[in-house]
Chain A
Amino acid sequence: MPILPDGTIEVEHVWKKFRADRTAPKFYDQMKRFGRSIGSPGRHDYRWVLKDVNLEVPPGGTLALIGINGSGKTTMLKIISQVTYQSAGRCSVQGRIGALLGVTSGIQPELTGRENVFLYGAVLGMGRQTIRERFEEIVEFAGLTDAIDRQVKFYSMGMQMRLGFSIAAFLEPDILLVDEVLSVGDANFQQKCLNRIGEVVRLGTTLLYVSHDLASVEASCERAVWLADAVVQAVGPTKEVVSKYRSAVEQNAALATSSEGAVQVLKVEINASDGGQVRSESDLDICLRLQAPEAYDANFFIGVSQGTAFPMFIVRHSGSFPAGEFEVRCRLRHVPLSRGRYSLWPAMSGHARGKGKPLLPWRPVTSFDVMGPDLPKLPEGVMVLSPVYVGADWRVD
């Protein structure tokens, strides 16, 4: 086997099975299970959580794992960090690993922050001397200068996460694994963490990043892997994988909410107001044909999203709607959308809040393409919450 340079991750045909969940905790059932396991060794109940996964990250590369809960992302990270072992296949990882699997993974509540820095540092493979040298830096980054000699059980969740992240990020490992831990921190610290991750990557660290926050995924990773149902669905440049993942999430959302609510959407039309292609900053005409069993006084919403259930913006109209078939027309002026595909989400609800089902539940009914400029490349490590296009005139004197 050739010696790979530090920071390389190679995962070939990795499979992982878990024991079937114990659904029957009764003593009798346990005994039966025990008897069966003795009777036919090796034939336990199990389910696959990873099937035939292949990954390859060169030193200094950045890879994101995305997918819904339970799709195997964390298990993959655990196998790579050798916390757990694969059931089949080969996984070779070269170099020192700094793994942040969970917010408070290495943090001991009974100890003070200072003692935790040394403990967690040692757990992550740092020598005492190294920790002592970096101690001030770590504490300052975590913003815990005042609290460092307090027992960690008196820390807030965010403070614990800050401590954990700071230690892992200042260890300067060959490989940094980050599993959905940043979400606990406030926006300010999240940005600080992303900056630090960018910095570490620039220094040559390999990054493996798991997050549901697709904006931060796009900001920090070149490539992405989409896991679903224990299988790698797609792998490639982050933007393309993310958009595939988004459209899959959309489809599921549409399936989950279809045929609910009293009002039905019959037809949707989206056009540029001048009749041509929809372009950035042009006006957009939306025409929805709907059917209602009775007349309503209601709020009507239209949202536009780039895939996930979180809209980039919403417009609202409050008024009366007739029974039977009717049309809702809406002109969106100067839509600030960059080039790409977007989803349209209509919704309708009665004025009395929180009473009964919405008349028309919030779900995407159609998607449309926008022509125009791409968004500018962001500064490293920066993410935008709503990636909208805003025309700008510049002058540099």
Chain B
Amino acid sequence: MTTADSAGVSALVVTDLASIPDEPPPDIIYRHKVRLIESLRVLWAHREIVYTLAERDFRAQYKQATLGILWAILSPVATLVVFVVVFSRVKSFGSEGVPFALYAFVGILCWSFFATSLGSGGNSLLTNKALLAKTQFPRECFPLETMLVGGLNTVLSWVPLAILFVIFGRAPAWTTVWIPLFMVIEVVFAAGITLAISSIIIQMRDLVQVLPLIISLGLFATPVIWPFSKIPTSLHLAFGQHVHRAVVDGHVVAGHWVGGITVNPQMIYGFLNPLGPVIDNARRTMLLGLSPDWKLVATGAVGALLYLILGYRIFKRFEVNFADIA
């Protein structure tokens, strides 16, 4: 082939077609490198796009509706009414002495952010196909942008929460100041899951149908309408075979197992599903006026961070294919 000479124009070069092999030599095969720190830096440089895309979605959401932006507040209020009517009759789970509607609504608020992030963020690469295939900027802007919209809608949903406090004649405890910390943990967790799901969904379209189902099941697997304290704090797992039954001082000592360990299911749950600690601690602080359960919060935070790192890695690993299969 040719190289341009200093004038930028060189003579006509016709390729010898026979010189081109059928396959590229293996040493030049392109390997997509995943560097998270570098990716974060690039993402930060493109943060304007995230804001602009979020603004687009937020505007488009209410563009041709007569009530416009008012819906952002009206729809959570409507949800609230449904909740008060329906769930105030369901008291089987207990609500730690707090009016159930209030108790459940705090859970719902935390959950709905996660659910909408995952629901719309998971599909964000598909809904933004046109941009994805034609423009170049960090692909994670799409899921993150939908999360920002979800966050904005969630913030507006705190308005009906305030109404609920008034209705029940309560005030949030001063420990509410910890809430932003829990929200950060939730955002980190939601981002990790959303990034992973969105990058997988674009390759396995079957998941588009399955995702809503998973999300609605998740509502019940998460302490949204049931208290986190339903999960025991101690569980003995036995994997030893020898069960000793001995008589000590005339008492039968049973359950003395060899090779078993005692675990704290709350911690395990909190690690696997950081939403548990988030919702539990949001209630503890805001509704019960207790200080956060720091051990649980830390477990949730570590779990969420690991989810984010893993999710971001998966996303970056798969992003090579996005434009080709979108």
Contacts and interface: CB of A to CB of B under 8 A. Distances in A.
Contacts of A234: 12-15
Interface in A47-97: 51-52, 54, 56-58, 60-61, 78, 81-90, 97
Contacts of B10: 223, 236-237
Give chain A's interface secondary structure class.
mixed
A90 B24 CA distance: 12
B8 A102 contact: no
A237 B11 contact: yes
B200 to A, nearest CB: 15
Contact of A122 (B11, B52, B63): B52
Contacts of B53: 119, 122
Interface string B42-66: 0000101101110110011001000
Contacts of B243: none
Interface residues of A, number: 55
Contacts, number: 133
A58 B323 contact: no
Given A54-B1, A115-B56, A231-B17, A81 B48 contact: no
Given A88-B29, A241-B12, A111 B60 contact: yes
A108 B56 contact: yes
Interface string B6-29: 001111111101001100110011
Contacts of B137: 123, 125
Nearest to B10: A236
B135 A124 contact: yes
A320 to B, nearest CB: 48
B135 A99 contact: yes
B134 interface: yes
A97 B55 CA distance: 24
Contacts of A18: 324
Nearest to B322: A84
Nearest to B6: A58
Interface in A320-339: none
Contact of A101 (B21, B52, B134): B134
B276 to A, nearest CB: 35
Interface string A232-248: 11111100110010000
Contact of A105 (B1, B11, B131): B131
A13 interface: yes
Given A87-B30, A122-B49, A231-B15, A51 B20 contact: yes
Given A85-B320, A88-B24, A119-B56, A97 B136 contact: yes
Contacts of B130: 104-105
A127 interface: yes
Interface of A: 13, 15, 18-19, 51-52, 54, 56-58, 60-61, 78, 81-90, 97, 99, 101-102, 104-106, 108, 110-111, 115, 118-119, 122-125, 127-128, 151, 222-223, 231-237, 240-241, 244
Interface of B: 1-4, 8-15, 17, 20-21, 24-25, 28-30, 32, 46, 48-49, 51-53, 55-56, 59-60, 63, 130-131, 133-137, 320, 323-325
**Pairs A-B, 10 closest by C-beta atoms:** A236-B12, A105-B134, A88-B24, A84-B323, A122-B52, A110-B60, A15-B24, A54-B1, A240-B12, A101-B134
